[in-house]
């Protein structure tokens, strides 16, 4: 049963079976999610409003951590979840399947990313500093 609880909430029921009887019981497992939220921070004091925030699989980012504009476009298409920050730079993903991810923020020609582990029924708070330049 432990393998089912990663993305699903366990369901239990009391079933009465008479001696020699057979009972069929169907269950519908409820998917479980985690919440990811945080703020995009810009040390250069650029306004982080409407920054693009992406949740990516762990193998999505280049090994060197340097991102070109072309790679940026590929990442945007490959993102598992996408949103934009509000006027104060805050973002929210209310339903993310449990797992290990990168969360990246892109604003104009700067970006940043952090690793995050999402767990069922828990809120992960990750602030992202955008201070890396896109490489030509």
Q: Are 13 and 24 in contact (CB under 8 A)?
A: no
pLDDT of residue 63: 61
pLDDT at residue number 136: 64
Q: What is the pLDDT of residue 2?
A: 44
- Give the pair of three-digit tokens for residue 106: 């892109």
Mean pLDDT of residues grouped by 10 in the chain (136 residues)?
Answer: 51 78 76 94 82 90 68 87 96 96 91 94 96 78
Place of tokens 């409407």: 50
What are the two backbone dihedrals, phi and then psi, of residue 5, each rounded to the nearest 5 degrees? Answer: -85, -5
Question: Across-strand partners of 55?
Answer: 81, 103
Q: Is the dihedral of CA 59, 62, 66, 67 positive or negative?
A: negative
In this prediction, residue 60 carries a pLDDT of 76
Q: What is the DSSP string of 52-107?
A: EEEEEETT-S-TT----HHHHHHHHHH-SEEEE--TTSEEEEEEE-SEEEEEEEEE
Structural class in CATH, domain 33-133: mainly beta
The whole-number pLDDT of residue 133 equals 84
CA 122 to CA 36: how far, in whole Å? 9
**Residue 22: what pLDDT?**
84
Q: Coil, strand, or helix at residue 129?
A: strand
């Amino acid at each position: 049963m432990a393998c089912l609880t990663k993305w699903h909430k366990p369901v239990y029921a009391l079933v009465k079976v008479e001696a020699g009887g057979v009972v069929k019981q169907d269950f519908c497992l409820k998917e479980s999610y985690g919440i990811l939220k945080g703020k995009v921070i810009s040390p250069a004091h650029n306004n982080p409003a409407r920054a693009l925030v992406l949740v990516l699989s762990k193998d999505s980012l280049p090994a060197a951590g340097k991102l070109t504009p072309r790679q940026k476009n590929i990442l945007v298409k490959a993102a598992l979840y996408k949103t934009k920050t509000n006027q104060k730079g805050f973002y929210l993903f209310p339903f993310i399947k449990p797992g290990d991810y990168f969360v990246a923020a892109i604003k104009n020609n700067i970006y940043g990313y952090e690793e995050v582990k999402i767990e069922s029924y828990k809120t992960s708070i990750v602030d992202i500093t955008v201070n890396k330049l896109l490489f030509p």
